[in-house]
Chain A
């Protein structure tokens, strides 16, 4: 079955790195995603990684995928107050029509 789990909350100081973790259970995931949601807004696609990759870097964002442990992480370098938001991990599975299954979200709070 599909299940995506994330810790609820993370607090960091401005300028530090943030690492948001996610675990998933379906080994047939095709893509794994990170979305950002600011208060009262929709979700913004930050980045995604194909399941045959183990790392993807995009400016301040680094995604690491450990397929063996079914663990995905998002590292934000030099975290800024504008990074404060809820971050959702999601997976899509090709034999489920590529529909997305979302984790519950991690609220990142960045303190000045």
Chain B
């Protein structure tokens, strides 16, 4: 069963703590992406990676970090520097020659209090 998994579905943290969100795909896709979704708004790109050991900042990278040590995995760390971290986080992947065809995971809802 091919797809993208994100865990956990819900995550709660205290302010000032770093937290890492998991994203794994078994679609053999080269490119992976992280988006943030706020209520009533569209998705905004945080980071993306087109190849292992390489990644680029998206529109709202401040306060976030990523790594891409394996093709299948693209974890996102929300650091304490992110001013407003409570949001719904979505991971996606695509074939490298079809970056327009992105497939999304089920999302992680992060609440920071």
- Show the binding face of A for B, using Cβ within 8 Å: 4, 8, 30-31, 33, 35, 40-45, 48, 88, 90, 92, 97-105
The segment from B14-22, B39-47, B64-72, B79-87 found at the interface with A is: B39-47
User: Hey, what's the 0/1 contact readout for B1-22 against A, CB within 8 Å counting as 1?
Assistant: 0001010010000000000000
Q: A48-B100, A92-B100 are in contact. Are A104 and B107 (CB under 8 A)?
A: no
**What 4 pairs between A and B have smallest CB-CB spacing?**
A102-B42, A42-B104, A98-B99, A43-B104
Chain B residues in 8 Å Cβ range of A100:
43, 45, 100, 102
- CA gap between A104 and B44 in the complex, in Å: 10
- CA gap between A92 and B101 in the complex, in Å: 10
Interchain CB contact under 8 A, A45 and B42: no
Chain B residues in 8 Å Cβ range of A102:
42-44
Interchain CB contact under 8 A, B104 and A31: no
A49 to chain B, nearest CB (A): 11
Chain B: how many interface residues by the 8 Å CB criterion?
23
- Show the binding face of B for A, using Cβ within 8 Å: 4, 6, 9, 40-45, 48, 58, 90, 92, 99-107, 109
Chain B residues in 8 Å Cβ range of A101:
42
Chain B residues in 8 Å Cβ range of A8:
40
- CA gap between A33 and B106 in the complex, in Å: 19
- CA gap between A92 and B98 in the complex, in Å: 11
Interchain CB contact under 8 A, A31 and B40: no
- CA gap between A54 and B107 in the complex, in Å: 33
- CA gap between A98 and B58 in the complex, in Å: 12
Chain A residues in 8 Å Cβ range of B100:
30-31, 33, 48, 92, 98, 100
A25 to chain B, nearest CB (A): 14
- CA gap between A88 and B9 in the complex, in Å: 21
Interchain CB contact under 8 A, B48 and A45: no
- CA gap between A99 and B33 in the complex, in Å: 10
A87 to chain B, nearest CB (A): 11
Closest residue of chain B to A38 (Cβ to Cβ) is: B106
Q: A31-B100, A92-B99 are in contact. Are A4 and B42 (CB under 8 A)?
A: yes
**Interface centre among B43, B105, B106, by most A CB within 10 Å?**
B43
